[in-house]
Amino acid sequence: MFYSTHASVQLEVLSYENPAAGQTPDDGNVLVTCLRLIDRGRRWDTIAPILYTWDIQKLIYWFSDMLADREVPDGLMFAEPCLAIELSRVSANRERYWFRILLRFEATPPWYQESPDTPYVIPIDCSRNSISEAVSGLTAQLLAFPVR
């Protein structure tokens, strides 16, 4: 999804947590997600049910609004507290964006020793083109695992 000089963040939806739709809309829309992360040369993967289908929709809308030069909130939090993203800066020409990826609980790296309530932060800077690619990738994943 995003790559910068010292870090990368990839998000891949692997499956629904519950193959059947589930008894409630929440049950049927939990996604088993793989986060592939690199920060300052250290790599780790996390596979866990940390996003819902509508979280993917929120990401798509948020990034799409950035690309359309619409005002966006400074960050997104999701139903599960393992992942959040903050927009920390945008270049004057709107060609570069700086984000902070906040990881908690099962999304933190194995060597992280802080309290689970204290997020592990990965700073990412990326181009407008990277955001467009992220929107395309997330849209494809949402098509494969739609809200049900």
pLDDT for position 1: 77
Q: Mark the ranges of the chain whose per-residue pLDDT is less than 70.
A: 22
How far apart, in Å, are the Cα atoms of 20 and each of 17, 27, 34, 47, 85? 9, 9, 20, 20, 30
pLDDT for position 117: 84
Would you list the domain boundaries of the chain? 2-144
pLDDT for position 22: 67
Class of CATH domain 2-144: mainly beta
Strand (E) or helix (H) holding 89: strand 83-90
